Amino acid sequence: MQTFVTHLECSLTGEHYPADRVHGLSASGKPLLVRYDLDAMAEVLEREEVSRREGGFWRYREFLPVRFDANVVTLGEVTTPLIRLPSLEENDELWVKDEGRLPTGSFKARGLALAVAMARELGLKHLAMPTNGNAGAALAAYAAKADLRATVLCPADTPEINIRETSELGARVFRVNGLISDCGRIVGERAQDQGWFDLSTLKEPYRIEGKKTMGLELAQQFDWQLPDAIFYPTGGGTGLIGMWKAFAELEALGWIDSRRPKMFAVQAEGCAPIVRAFAAGEEFAEPWQDAQTMAAGIRVPAAVGDFLILRAVRESGGAALAVSDEDIIAARSQVAAAEGTLLCPEGAATFVAWRQAKAAGLLDEGSRSLLFNCATGLKYPLTDHSTMLD
Ligand SMILES: *Cc1c(COP(=O)(O)O)cnc(C)c1O
């Protein structure tokens, strides 16, 4: 299989880097993005052909950097369903993309499948990362399948299910008395003497390519007409940046037009660095002190791709919105009982943000909005609504 990769590019300076080498951040300490020969791709690939292929994100093979099929690692990825929420949508159209159906129950599978395939391709042996839970589990699963070693550092109060899941899947797990940023610092400091390759969010170029497939997939599912708004629970922001990149690539291929959804970055009130930077009109986000929220997946005090998130949100005419933990918990119960769809806390946060955006007049009447349920609701402690009957 050929790839259409031409080079990698610094997301801040545009400086070029050669493909097929091991890369972390660019020389200026910013994420590297993979670039493709989209003209060549347009000549040989048609969207109808891609749509006919078997489901799951590997159907977008040409949009991905893996050169040899033998390095592809699969655990039964599926195309995640779009579920409409008619009883909650009022005069709008409201959909959820349920990413909880992927291997290890979260959309982290997309990014880690790609990172592990590329690690194999580049001959890396031992992968390490900081995690709030789901990324570590996805790394453990794909690394096990690919016969690579995995070491994961997580805050000690990471949801217990994630910690147990990750170690069952064969990774070495360290609970750290601190936040994900502390775990990330330890991975960075110890990588060299431990022989680890650092797979931190956006500190290597390939997880975002996996997350990008959310944008390709939803475009295809909506018959190449993007929704009017996308609500994305934003930690490191890989998915939001990845989808934004996917839309540009699809437009370059002539598969979609130039209209874009308003991108809404959703954070928790107890950890909202992107929301604060958005409101202040800043290009980069200051780290958030004393980050606190029950939505572990978005408890990320500092994101190396902050400026890319903020750029996409601003260019799209969207916004960055913060929601409270109380509203998240209430929204989870409401959506579950009304629509039979159990969201994870981060997914429920996007529903709260959608209501907030509507109330603030940020959406046109009749807008089609898409929420992201990034993980299965079953991974999280749930509210007890039962009654004891003796
Ligand atoms: C990782 C994660 C997020 C945040 O995703 P990013 O693309 O890193 O911003 C949100 N929710 C859940 C459940 C996650 O695991």
Whether residues 300 and 259 share a domain: the answer is yes
Task: Give 234 Cα–ligand 1 centroid separation in angstroms.
Answer: 6
Whether residues 94 and 239 share a domain: the answer is yes
Whether residues 266 and 373 share a domain: the answer is yes
| Residue 314 within any structural domain of the chain | yes
pLDDT along the chain (390 residues), means of 10: 91 97 96 98 96 96 96 97 97 97 98 98 97 96 98 94 96 95 95 96 96 98 98 97 98 98 98 98 97 94 96 98 98 98 98 98 97 96 92
Best residue among 108, 211, 293 to mutate for probing ligand 1's pocket (most ligand atoms within 8 Å of CB) is: 108
| Residue 18 within any structural domain of the chain | yes
- In this structure, the strands spanning 16-17 and 5-10 are antiparallel
Tokens of 352: 């709260």
Q: Output the domain CATH number for residue 150.
A: 3.40.50.1100
Whether residues 21 and 118 share a domain: the answer is no
* pLDDT for 1: 59
Whether residues 191 and 214 share a domain: the answer is no
Query: In which domain, by residue range, is 113 found?
Result: 108-198
Domain count, the chain: 3
Whether residues 192 and 312 share a domain: the answer is no
- Of the candidates 41, 29, 33, which has an alpha carbon nearest to the alpha carbon of residue 14? 33
Cα gap 335→57, rounded to integer Å: 27
Whether residues 170 and 281 share a domain: the answer is no
Tokens of 200: 């931190």
Whether residues 226 and 185 share a domain: the answer is no
* pLDDT for 34: 98
| Residue 44 within any structural domain of the chain | yes
Whether residues 182 and 295 share a domain: the answer is no
| Residue 387 within any structural domain of the chain | no
Q: Report pTM.
A: 0.97
Whether residues 191 and 215 share a domain: the answer is no
* pLDDT for 92: 97
- Say if ligand 1 is within 6 A of residue 159 CB: no
Burial of 6 (0-12, 13-18, 19+ CB in 10 A): middle
Tokens of 85: 């929420």
Residue 62 DSSP symbol: G
Whether residues 31 and 87 share a domain: the answer is no
- Say if ligand 1 is within 6 A of residue 374 CB: yes
Burial of 206 (0-12, 13-18, 19+ CB in 10 A): buried
| Residue 205 within any structural domain of the chain | no
Cα gap 3→36, rounded to integer Å: 8
* pLDDT for 2: 73
- Say if ligand 1 is within 6 A of residue 111 CB: no
